[in-house]
Structure 1
Amino acid sequence: MSRVLIAGESWMTESTHVKGVDSFTVHSYVEGVGPLRDALEAAGHTVTHLPAHLVPARFPGDAEALSAYDLVVLSDIGANSIQLDPAVLERSERGEDRLANLAGWVAEGGALMMIGGYLSFTGFQAKAAFRQTPIAPALPVELLPDDDRVELPAGADPAVLDAGHPALGGAGGQWPHLLGYNRVAARDGAATLATINGDPLVVVGEHGRGRTAVFTSDCSPHWAPPSFCEQWSGYGRLFDGLVRWLAN
């Protein structure tokens, strides 16, 4: 079984309550990693979750630190959070380029998966900002220069193109609808296993001696409704298949 690091999939919210002339602000912390973490642990994998607010200080900085894992999953966490260690951002000290080191680790036999969200790929208002980073060439897809989100409020059903590919874990047939995704273009030589709305949904490929994959929609709400990430038996098979294929 594989050792998986999931970076991201958490957020903090701030809401202001106005009652007449008085107001107060409430803050809350939310994790969206539950469905993915639970599915992978149920399949026997060891999962370490690095919440978004801890990524800048604790993301593995070099190949030695990354070697504690078989697979790194980036899910709804922007490039800045990974590249800008507090020493660099706050004290102007030189440090590791963690995305460059991640790309190098993959090329030497590691594995990487990016899952969609507002801060994945290019992202909301291009704020995910992975397109011009060293990790972009390692992905099996090309990223758009502008906001790449496609919202599907009426829902759209994915189309499986290669149900027999081991990366899908046997999750063939009809998949539940999804409510959005990040638009990308598959690279030459990569394999597009499933699409949504005519665009890539699941793409796998190789980078050097390592393997990479993308799932361009979400692994939890809002783009992945409960019918997909909680009620569909294929959810666990899909992500278990991706992890097993990536970790080889």
Structure 2
Amino acid sequence: MARILIAGESWMTTSTHVKGVDEFSVHSYVEGVGPLREALTARGHEVIHLPAHLVPTDFPGDAEALSAYDLVVLSDIGANSIQLAPGVFEGSRPGQDRLAVLRDWVADGGALLMIGGYLSFSGFQARAAFRQTAIAEVLPVTMLPEDDRVECPAGVHPTVVDADHPALGDAGDEWPLLLGYNRVVAREGAHVPVRVGDDPLIALGEHGRGRAAAFTSDCSPHWAPPAFCEEWPGYAGMFDGLVRWLVRA
């Protein structure tokens, strides 16, 4: 079984309540990693979650630290949070480019999965900003230079074109609808076993001695509604299949 680092999939929310002439703010911390973590641990994998607010300080900075894991998952966490450690961003001191370190680690036999969201791939207003980083060399897709979100409020059903590919595990070929995804373009040589419309939902590729994959929708709401990430038995099978393919298990 794999030891997996999931970076991202958490956020902080501030709401302002206005009551007549008075107002106050309420803050909350939310994690969206639950469905994915539970699905993977149920299949026997070990999952370590690095919440978004800890990524700038705690994301692995060298190959030795990355070697503690079989797979790194980036989910709804932008490139800035990984590249701009406090010493660089706040102290103006040169440091490591942790995305370049991650790229080299994959080339040496590691594994990377990027999951979609408002801060994945290019993301909301292109703020995820992975397109011009070292990770662009690793992913089996080319990212758009603009906001790449495709909102599907009426829902869109994925089309499985290669149900027998091992990366899909035991998910089968009947998938529930999704409410959106990041639009990307499959690289030459990448394999796309599942699509949404004409766009890749899952793309698979090799990078050096390692492997990389993209799942362009979300692993939790809102793009992945409860019918997809909580009620569909294929959810665990699909992500387990991706993990096993990526780490060659």
- Bin for the TM-score computed over the shorter chain: over 0.9
2:147 corresponds to which letter in structure 1?
D
Number of the residue aligned with 1:11: 11
Q: Which residue of 1 aligns with 2:112?
A: 112
RMSD value, Cα: 0.4
- 1:197, distance to aligned residue in structure 2 (A): 2.1
Give TM-score, length-normalised by structure 1: 0.99
Measure the CA separation in 2 of the matches of 1:102 and 1:112.
9
- Residue deviations 1:66-87 (CA, integer Å, cap 9, x gap): 0000000000000000000000
- Find out whether 1:50 has 2:50 as its counterpart: yes
> How big is the shift at 1:198?
1.8
The superposition leaves residues 40-67 of structure 1 with CA deviations (integer Å, 9 ceiling, x where unpaired) of: 0000000000000000000000100000
What amino acid maps onto 1:104 in structure 2?
D
Q: Which residue of 2 aligns with 1:218?
A: 218
Partners of 1:183 and 1:197 in 2: CA distance: 10
Structure-1 residue corresponding to 2:36: 36
Q: Deviations over 1:80-118 (max 9, x none)?
A: 000000000000111110000000000000000000000
Partner of 2:238: 238
Number of residue-to-residue matches in the alignment:
248
Matching of residues 1-248 of structure 1 within 5 Å:
1-248=1-248
Letter in 1 for 2:238: L
CA positional deviation for 1:133: 0.2
1:177 is displaced (CA, Å) by 0.1
Cα distance, 1:170 vs. partner? Answer: 2.2
- Give 2:122's aligned amino acid: T
Amino acid at match of 1:76: D
Which residue identity is paired with 2:183? R
Distance between the aligned counterparts of 2:161 and 2:173, measured in 1? 10
Which residue type is aligned with residue 130 of structure 2?
A: F
What amino acid does structure 2 have at the position aligned with 1:166?
P
Q: Which runs of 4+ in 1 moved over 6 A?
A: none
- 5+ residue gaps, structure 1: none
What is the Cα deviation at residue 130 of structure 1? 0.2
Structure 2: which 5+ residue stretches go unaligned? none
**Distance in structure 2 (CA, Å) of the matches to 1:33 and 1:119:** 14
Letter in 2 for 1:189: G
Q: Distance in 1 between matches of 2:60 and 2:233?
A: 33
Q: Distance in 2 between matches of 1:157 and 1:190?
A: 22
SS in 2 for 1:135: helix
